[in-house]
Structure 1
């Protein structure tokens, strides 16, 4: 028996399977989900690297929280021939490798049926967070991925230094002149502030 993978990530940046998926492994259980014993349950187990773009909202940077969407379904088969189901509503993150910049808040599935004008039967699709996909009638699976940025790096390297520089710059305007009406302190303070700002811009 040979099984071909019809699963497609609809919003992938690359539609080349050879560069994203490898070592296809399918576990087939016949007579699984129909009372008459016809049909089969197929579990797809294979390593893959997917690239997709997410709409970013950086209004509250570096304390922002982002939502990313994965749209998974068959490109050519409706729910009458292939019907997708998830085993559990949340993605298993036990072996998830932590990221230095982002924290995963939630990662959930959603199964959606949509009717398309081209087709008689609905399509099974898996969705992932905040995806509005208007076609005719397919069954989609949604993966709702919510991530939050870790702000510590930006607080230490950007927020705190710029706050200190701002306080020093404002203080320079109120620094009193010396008894001889010289303003050397203000001049030195202003030059040091400008040099510090230049270094900060180079770092960022």
Structure 2
């Protein structure tokens, strides 16, 4: 794991690597543990698990866990009348402390038509005044999208895998120093927006 000044944690520096890391994402059928997906390292070990409403029983609620099943992040979509009237949906990722208090880490606002605009992400701890910190470009459905920071640097890139599995498998390469758990949290929201494995 990275220990230099180039580490850019969003959730924790323990999820940042000192070199680029390619992870494999495997979608789970809804009949197995309620769907969601598993994120594996090069040794095919599970490093992250994302659960959707098949497990949680609530639409618009996602859970990001580590490979041992420990909760890292809760992700929820804002609801209510104001949300229904809005042209954009807002998602938020929360850390929960040992006393059960939630702390917002990031928010993601997407257009109701996901193909029309870049999806922008705001960090609660952001130190700059640009209004957003990261954005998603390209097609998540085709696995040809990138996540870039506000200066235009590519932070993570999706791509097809040469493993057997078709659309059920894809890869994401996270650049050195960036928070892999945060990137997987963003993928969880993209998966749900596009009606894939986390959606009931």
Q: TM-score range by the shorter chain?
A: under 0.3
TM-score by length of 1: 0.23
Higher RCO, Cα 8 Å, sep 6+ = 2
TM-score by length of 2: 0.24
| Greater share of helix | 1
Larger radius of gyration: 1
